[in-house]
Amino acid sequence: MRITYKQVAGIDVHKKTVVATRMRVTEEQRLEWETETFGTTTPDLLQLHAWLQEWSCSHVALESTGDYWKPVYNLLEEDFEVWVVNAQHVKRVPGRKTDATDSEWLAELLLHGLLKASFIPPKPQRALRELTRYRTRLIQERSRTVNRVQKLLEGANIKLASVVTDIQGVSARAMLAELAEGHTDAAALAELARGRLRNKIPELEQALTGRVEPHQRFLLSQQLAHIDFLDERVAAIEAEIERQLWTMSEPPDSPAAAEEEGGEVRSPAQERPPAQWQAAVNLLDTVPGINREAAQIILAEMGIDMAQFPTAGHLCRWAGVAPGNHESGGKRYSGRTTKGNRTLKSTLVQCAYAAIRTKGSFFKARYHRLAARRGKKRAIMAIAHSMLKAIWHILSTGEVYHDLGADYYNQRNRDAKVAYHTRQLEKLTGATVQIALSGGAA
């Protein structure tokens, strides 16, 4: 079999140890390899680094085992071409599996060029990805806490959610704060309503009449404090995400990039021309259903360089929003989507739900067209697929999103549709039908 790389290594990664095999082809065209076991602490991994350099290994293959590959990747990526490969793609024959043979198998496959590297973004993008994912977790925790507040109110006979839309709105939050302080006068609490909610003061008085026990007041105060804390943390994370975006947008030799290590980085609020990452966020913000926060998540997951995805289909497949292939014996079976990038996939689905509520948009027209035939869930996934394809073209060309419009399907093949419906009308009526245009021509 043809040899692609002459000095390689394969590493089987575990929580406490890594088993590494270095392999090389000698001048006499003989194959040599050695296997060693190292710990996963930083000093042990530095020994692994030196051990691989002894044979001048050019490529190193790792299995993508949980998060355990990350410490190894962090210490090897600067001096080696490190490939993180899918463990299911390199399985050996059952019954002949050990850690040593796993590392040897990885090294042998890499030697012959039979492995495919997973997409691992550069360090700045990985930092942005960690920030956006943590922000998502904080927002999810906030939503869970709000649900706990609602559950507590129901147990205290407080039906505030039946009158107000958001129990964390300005008016509702003021009422909840008074309840936590022990004030139970329904009329006084209802007077805290603001704006159009004051039209519902009689309903509020009835909804705020309940039986709030001391332990429920204590829990309510703790939950409200937890929500305030999460709001502060989310605001801090968002500020750090903006700072990271502006830092990534600066050219490597710019003064701001030089100040990143020890000096003060310029504030995003200062006026300057939009840079690459910020411009990408602004471009995605023009797509219906995608706001600035969603654009940051999407870019943190897949980056802004679309050269790593040859076509929009490759990106959709990587994200897990493209239809799967399952055909056997000339029959096509389930075409359910693959796993892909779960964070990107869930974000696109959320954006798709927002996009189909945008009046006059192509996505709304496409959703209703597909939902009638294929069902709502398949239609939403198809919208997420279409959105990601549009994102690929936007980032590839640098052009803003151009919506095709809600009447796109009606205008497509317009003459053929007019002729078809004219023939159908003639068959039903038995009369000759002429189409009069708005200008008076027939």
> 211: which residues sit within 8 A by CB, 6+ positions away?
156, 157
Residue 31 DSSP one-character state:
E
Residue 261 DSSP one-character state:
T
Q: For residue 293, give the H/E element and its range.
A: helix 292-302
C-beta separation of 312 from 388 below 8 A? yes
Q: Which residue, 312, 378, 347, is CA-closest to 367?
A: 378
Take residue 291 and report the two structure tokens written for it: 């706001």
Exposed, middle or buried: residue 116 (CB in 10 Å: 0-12, 13-18, 19+)?
A: exposed
Q: How many helices (H) and strands (E) does the chain have?
A: 17, 7
Q: What is the Cα–Cα distance from 202 to 221, expressed in whole angstroms?
A: 26
Domain boundaries, the chain: 7-111, 126-244, 276-324+339-397, 412-442
Other C-beta atoms lying within 10 Å of the C-beta of residue 60: 27
- CATH number of 7-111: 3.30.420.10, 1.10.10.10, 3.50.50.60, 2.30.30.40? 3.30.420.10
Centroid of chain to Cα 184: 44
pLDDT digits (tens), the chain, 442 positions = 788 899 999 999 999 999 999 999 988 889 999 999 999 999 999 999 999 999 999 999 998 778 899 999 999 999 999 999 987 777 655 555 777 888 898 999 999 988 888 889 999 999 999 999 999 999 999 999 999 999 999 999 999 999 999 999 999 999 999 999 999 899 999 999 999 999 999 999 999 999 999 999 999 999 999 999 999 999 999 999 999 999 988 765 555 444 444 444 444 434 444 448 999 999 999 999 999 999 999 999 999 999 989 999 999 999 999 988 777 777 777 778 888 899 999 999 999 999 999 998 999 999 999 999 999 999 999 999 999 999 999 999 999 999 998 888 888 888 888 888 889 998 998 888 888 766 544 4
C-beta separation of 287 from 387 below 8 A? yes
pLDDT for res 151: 96
pLDDT for res 251: 62
Strands 31-39 and 17-25: antiparallel
Radius of gyration (C-alpha) of the chain in whole angstroms: 30
pLDDT for res 267: 43
